[in-house]
Structure 1
Amino acid sequence: MIEGITMGWSEFAVASAGAAGALAGLLIVAISVNIKEIIAEAVLPVRAGATVASVVAILIGSLLVLLPAQPAPVLGLELLAVVLSCAAFQLRASRALLRHGEHGPRGSLPAKIVLTLAQLVPFLLGALLVCVGQPSGMYWVAAGFLIMFVVAIVNAWVLMVEILR
């Protein structure tokens, strides 16, 4: 049963869900306040969408961890579906970055693409480990959430402040 894998993770999941909900609200406000500037750029609309998708993935993933009495493979498959759905948005953002480039310091474009995609790796690995019943998978899921939070907060800053410079 899932209790063995998620035992002790409910408080982390509750905190993650709450933080993701708050960050999603902040992102929506940032996007709506600066919508003219965001739409004027070729890359920013898909980056904004990818950022929202990351936060929603954390929110949904956290809520799935809180569902009681699920077998580990079921939770793992659910988490896998969430991270793969999020990956579709990240791939679209990466393609837009490659196609249109982006202004910024030399060498920043490859770093942005790597960070956009690499942030999902721990979450993906964790979901796969949970699928096969490995309790260590939850640590990888948690690491993925934390990395995705950091990337989303940086992107929120860009959408709120840096876009106006």
Structure 2
Amino acid sequence: MDISDWSELFVAAAGASAALAGLIIVAMSVNVDVIVASPSMPSRAGATISVLVLATLISIVALIPGLSVSATGWVILVIALAGTVLPLESAVRLVRDKVSSPLAKSAVLVIPTLAMVVGGVVLVTGDAAGLYWVVAGIVLGFVGTVLNAWVVLIELRR
């Protein structure tokens, strides 16, 4: 399997995640007072944006021509590990603030980032099948960020 066979998918993922990140940043800026007033919402908002930025960066890395599978894996692994920081920090805050169902609420962003980490690890071994993990993480990240954006933008206003 050749990484270049995945280029159209990663072009679409990069564009979609960058557009979603921009839209969510603008939408959150309108509600920043409400978001900041809630103890766990600022970290959820930050984690939401960070997962979209992570998806954008990983998609761009996957498009770099001439990188070996292993080299692509190393770069994705480093970016994905860095990208787990805010979702994990948000999960800790949800537990510490005794929010109802903290594991379920944090899983929507932690699981996608961990899938991207696993994909990076598999790619480092030279196995291009790690791209399936990366793409699963990106797709799950889209779902999780849309769910979190809904909570941060709509549920706070109820």
Calculate the TM-score normalised by the size of structure 1: 0.90
Q: Shift of the alpha carbon at 1:124?
A: 1.3
1:26-54 CA deviation, whole Å, 9 max, x = no partner? Answer: 11012101101000011100111111110
Residue 29 of structure 1, aligned match among 18, 26, 34: 26
Residue 12 of structure 1, aligned match among 6, 9, 14: 9
2:45 aligned residue? 48
Residue 111 of structure 1, aligned match among 88, 104, 110: 104
1:144 aligned residue? 137
Bigger relative contact order (CA 8 A; separation at least 6): 1
Q: Shift of the alpha carbon at 1:134?
A: 0.5
The DSSP-based 3-state class of the residue aligned with 1:7 is: helix
> Which structure 1 residue ranges, 5 or more long, are not aligned?
none
For the pair 1:153 / 2:150, whether they are aligned, the reply is no
Q: Give the Cα separation in 2 of the matches to 1:98 and 1:155.
A: 16
Identity value in percent: 35
Q: Give the Cα separation in 1 of the matches to 2:154 and 2:107.
A: 23
**Structure 1 residue ranges, 4+ long, deviating more than 4 angstroms after superposition:** none
The DSSP-based 3-state class of the residue aligned with 1:62 is: helix
Q: Give the Cα separation in 1 of the matches to 2:106 and 2:148.
A: 13
For the structure 1 residues 138 and 129, does the alpha-carbon distance in structure 2 shift closer, same or farther, using more than 3 Å as the test?
A: same
The DSSP-based 3-state class of the residue aligned with 2:127 is: coil
The DSSP-based 3-state class of the residue aligned with 2:128 is: coil
Contact 1:5-1:133 at 8 Å conserved across structures = no
Q: Give the Cα separation in 2 of the matches to 1:69 and 1:126.
A: 19
State how many pairs are aligned.
158
- Write the letter of the residue equivalent to 1:113: S
The DSSP-based 3-state class of the residue aligned with 2:65 is: coil
Q: Give the Cα separation in 2 of the matches to 1:159 and 1:112.
A: 12
For the pair 1:83 / 2:77, whether they are aligned, the reply is no
1:62 aligned residue? 59
Q: Give the Cα separation in 2 of the matches to 1:53 and 1:23.
A: 11
1:64-94 CA deviation, whole Å, 9 max, x = no partner? Answer: 0011001222111110111111111111101
1:39 aligned residue? 36
> Which structure 2 residue ranges, 5 or more long, are not aligned?
none
What do you get for the CA RMSD once the two structures are aligned? 1.3
For the pair 1:131 / 2:124, whether they are aligned, the reply is yes
2:94 aligned residue? 97
Calculate the TM-score normalised by the size of structure 2: 0.94
